[in-house]
Structure 1
Amino acid sequence: MRYLLLRATTAAAAVAFGLVQTYVFARVLAPKDFSIYILIGTFGLSLWLFDLGAAKILFVRQRARHLEGRSDDAITAQSSAVVALYALIVLAGTLACFAIAATRSGTSLGTATDYTLFFSFAALNLVWFPLRNVSNAVDQYIGFESLEVVRRVGHIVLMLGLLGGLPLLAFLLLANALWAVLLSVCVVRLARVGALRAPHGVRSALTEFWRGNRRELLRSGNYAVGELAIYNFPYFVVPAMFGLGAPTIILDTVFKIFRGATLIYAAGLDPLVPRQTRALAERDAAMLKKATLTAFVLCAVPTLALCALLLIAGDRLFALLLGHAATMPPAATTVLVVLLLANLAQNVASNLLLHTGFFREIARVATFLVIAMAAMTLIAIAAGVDIVGFIGGYAAVYVAGAALYIAYVWRGPFRRAAGR
């Protein structure tokens, strides 16, 4: 129960931060600058392309080691090497961002610094991701979520400080400093319980990790790249099709709520993962289905509440968030409700498949979605649809993907738990 409350708090804070960022940036930045920061943040999050699903494989391996009560220096070394590698990737990406921004005509050194720090602020999620998975695998989720509360609340407070006159550069420096402190504390805690160690022999550990998990990495990597493309390609298509400014801000607002709901779902999904993995290991189909149904109900309650809020007062909510930066089309609210319901089903199903090692199945769905989204985009361009039409096409494809995930849950973990 304590973990559930903590997870719910961090999930709510994550959604709140996305909305607060929209509210604040719409008031302290010009619409064009706002849309530029949206794209920079998207580039930062796009570093997840380098994950290749490794974090989830680490969870599966660390979880098996933990449940069996055995020590395995190889898994510990591999986990440490992956975290170190991701930190280096973020550093390289941040330096590349500064080099590109600083050499761009019309961009001052100060503006390039702001862009770079915002990129780093978004990109450090890549390092946080494997730390979350390792923490959950070794039942250190309470400690991790406590740090997550500090991170979310701290970043919200700093963001609101911009409305009170805090300079943008000061916000970015403080936000990145908070990241550095929390990452350090988390690493030290995991090292104390034997889940991480000093990253010696990173290259050999990564090589061993690749050799031992090549098939799973390719499959989970297929899934990870597909997921990254599915959730981020609209940020590149919409500015190209409709321009910067209002269309990009409308897309970002819809996706902040759509993707933010995933963080809410995690509050209901993560506490059930230990029970689900134990049920599958013990071939207890009844317990597995009960745990999955419980996760679905926990996710459905906030989803239905959010959908009701959008249908009843969506126009006023978006007007409050966006101010004069953009106007949300009424039809976009209906599309967003469809996306939220499909996202609910997709998250419950894909979360179970991920944490029980069904990487081939999720890779297949990801491949389907990438192909279908590409086809939808070409059709949208040929038809000359507006921003709402594009988001509507996206929603239609996403619903089909959610249906496939559900089908694989029945054919995969449910069937295996039943001994078939």
Structure 2
Amino acid sequence: MSAATSDTVINGRPDPSPPAGSRAGSEAGNRFLSIPYLLLRATTAGGGLIGGLVQTFVFARILDPERFSVFILVGTLGIALWLCDIGLVKIIFVRLRTWLLAGAEAGAAIVQHATAIVILYFLLGIAGTIGCFAGALMFGAGAYASLELALFFLFTAITLVWFTLRNISLAVDDFIFFESMEVTRRTLHVGFMLATLAGLSLMAFLVIANLIWAALFAVMIARLSRNGALQATVAGFPGHLRSFFRHNRKEVVSGGTYAVNEFYLYNFAYAIVPMAYGLGAPTIILDTLFKVVRGATVLYSAASDVALPRQTRAYSEGDRKSLLLSTGMAAALASLPGIGICIALAFFSEPMFRLLLGESAVMPQAISNLMIILLIANLIQTVSNFLLIHTGYFRVIARVSVLVSLAATLVAGIAIVAGADLTGFIKAFTAVYVASALCYLTLALRGPLRKKT
């Protein structure tokens, strides 16, 4: 068993052996399929898709197209904070999960590392918010408008910390409580966002939305601290962060390469399209396409999350049959929303996007058709990558991600130089994306799904 293919080996060295039998996984974590978790995760995933569409629906009505485009770009910058993750969260997941599957409490060093990553991401979110405010002022926005943009940046960027807490909760089989909090968050955020159509100011929504974030973080951090997955103090943060990077150099390099290239693949078009095709309708159409794809990714990820406790347990135990069955279950569950979205796009795209975008832009039918292809490829890629990442195949997926980014850049450049319109540009992107999905599927079939671990 090599370091590149094992979730019980970190940086080429076995994790310190935990004392046997001190703790078993939760009852939900031991089940092949937890129905409460399935229902909760389906609800939160659906909320993610609805939340993105509601945001587009609301902003298309309370903002003019140019200002809407600016908020899209600021939101993209907020998501860009995820670049700072460089796969660190998944390394924490693998290490915490290894201890839990061994029936032990997490070692002190692992808990310190997890806490250090959470603190780091909080600090990055605050720094980015201050930078966004200063940048908006520098480009001529007034103080009030700059504050709105900064709060929207924070509202978007802070999801990186929430993503970290979700992975920590999943690693220690506390996923049901986390998803209950996620249902609360989605409901409140969407509700207050819709209230802006009834007269609530955008500033008021942004302040309330970030206060909701603060309350939820307080609850989750207290919960994970009581469960021994996080420290209840920030003491020693710099030293613990240095220790994390020192003990996980290889995984940080491989995971970081993959994370950076994945982020680039999903976001480089946000820099190219406004320059090549302009702000306003082209940027709004691009953003809507990626909102649908990212929303579907949330649904596919939810299906993969449901299967993940059993997948990682089967991989750890060398149970290939259960690993195949749980991976097939993830694919089957993911296909259900995927089929529904594809049918809606095939038969109802014109009225759906007319309702969604209003007078801001008109979605071409050809791009709606390309969305269907992207959604199918995205399903294949998401299920494959979930298995590869959470069983420690950081190195192999890093190599493929670099090739995919290079191919996407080259093909996009050729499309623009050749004079392709926005539809042609997206067609070129789709071709690269389909090829990348097939590559990751091949890696999963030849890696964790092939061998008895």
TM range (shorter): over 0.9
Determine if the alignment matches structure 1 residue 204 to structure 2 residue 247: no
1:15 is aligned to 49
Instruction: Please tell me the root mean square deviation across aligned C-alpha atoms, in Å.
Output: 0.8
2:92 is aligned to 58
Cα offset for 1:204? 1.2
Cα offset for 1:155? 0.7
Cα offset for 1:149? 0.6
Question: Is this contact kept in 2: 1:14–1:263, CA < 8 A?
Answer: yes
Aligned partners of 2:115 and 2:103: how far apart in 1?
19
Determine if the alignment matches structure 1 residue 193 to structure 2 residue 227: yes
2:142 to 93, 105, 108: 108
Identity of aligned residues (%): 48
Matches within 5 A, 1:154-303: 154-197=188-231, 198-303=233-338
Cα offset for 1:19? 0.6
Aligned partners of 1:287 and 1:67: how far apart in 2?
16
Aligned partners of 1:29 and 1:290: how far apart in 2?
48
Q: Secondary structure at the match of 1:414?
A: coil
Deviations 1:192-248 (A, max 9, x none): 000000222111111111111110110000011011111111111110111100000
Q: Secondary structure at the match of 2:139?
A: coil
Aligned partners of 2:450 and 2:289: how far apart in 1?
36
Q: Secondary structure at the match of 2:396?
A: helix
Give the partner amino acid of 1:270. D
Unaligned runs of 5+ in 1: none
Question: Is this contact kept in 2: 1:7–1:266, CA < 8 A?
Answer: no
Aligned partners of 2:169 and 2:125: how far apart in 1?
21
1:70 is aligned to 104
Deviations 1:379-418 (A, max 9, x none): 01211111111111111100000001011001211233x2
Aligned partners of 2:309 and 2:382: how far apart in 1?
17
Moved beyond 3 Å, runs of 4+: none
Aligned partners of 2:192 and 2:267: how far apart in 1?
26
Aligned partners of 1:84 and 1:368: how far apart in 2?
33
Determine if the alignment matches structure 1 residue 41 to structure 2 residue 75: yes
Deviations 1:74-109 (A, max 9, x none): 00000000000110011111111111112222x111
2:4 is aligned to none
2:178 to 132, 144, 156: 144
1:99 is aligned to 134
TM-score by length of 1: 0.98
2:372 is aligned to 337
Aligned partners of 2:163 and 2:55: how far apart in 1?
21
Question: Is this contact kept in 2: 1:77–1:199, CA < 8 A?
Answer: no
Deviations 1:281-302 (A, max 9, x none): 1111111111101110000111
Question: Is this contact kept in 2: 1:311–1:334, CA < 8 A?
Answer: yes
2:447 is aligned to 412
Aligned partners of 2:319 and 2:236: how far apart in 1?
40
For these two proteins, the number of residue pairs brought into alignment is 417
Give the partner amino acid of 1:287. S
Unaligned runs of 5+ in 2: 1-34
TM-score by length of 2: 0.91
Deviations 1:40-65 (A, max 9, x none): 00000100111010000000000011
Give the partner amino acid of 2:213. W
Aligned partners of 1:388 and 1:139: how far apart in 2?
44
2:116 to 81, 85, 109: 81
Aligned partners of 1:138 and 1:33: how far apart in 2?
43
